[in-house]
Amino acid sequence: MARYNATPALILAVSMAKGGNITELGDRVTKRLDEIKANMYHGLEAETLVFQPDYVDTAITEFMINLLESFGFVVIVILVFAASEPA
């Protein structure tokens, strides 16, 4: 038997099909889960254990920040060396 916060639980895993978009799937699953929560019996709860789209969004954001920082660093280095070389 599965347990969540020391209470009996039913665990449901949702996997994405090959070639899908994880952030779009996350949005659809969240929307559907909200609809299900609205119609659940009193005393039942639905919780999300792991939400992979959040991790993917964080990774994409960090990658973009690193990419922009690297680009800026390269531009600065080129300008420094171009300015220090006589024509």
Q: Per residue in 24-76, pLDDT tens?
A: 889 999 999 999 889 889 888 888 888 888 999 999 999 999 999 999 999 99
Domain housing 69: 51-87
For position 13, what pLDDT does the model report?
87
Alpha-carbon span 32 to 28, nearest angstrom: 6
pTM over cut 0.95? no
At which residue do the structure tokens 């929307």 appear? 31
Checking if the pLDDT of 2 tops 90, the result is no
Helix (H, G, I), strand (E, B) or coil at 9: strand
For position 74, what pLDDT does the model report?
95
For position 87, what pLDDT does the model report?
60
Q: Are residues 55 and 33 in the same domain?
A: no
DSSP string, 55-76: HHHHHHHHHHHHHHHHHHHHHH
Q: Are residues 1 and 43 in the same domain?
A: yes
The domain total for the chain is: 2
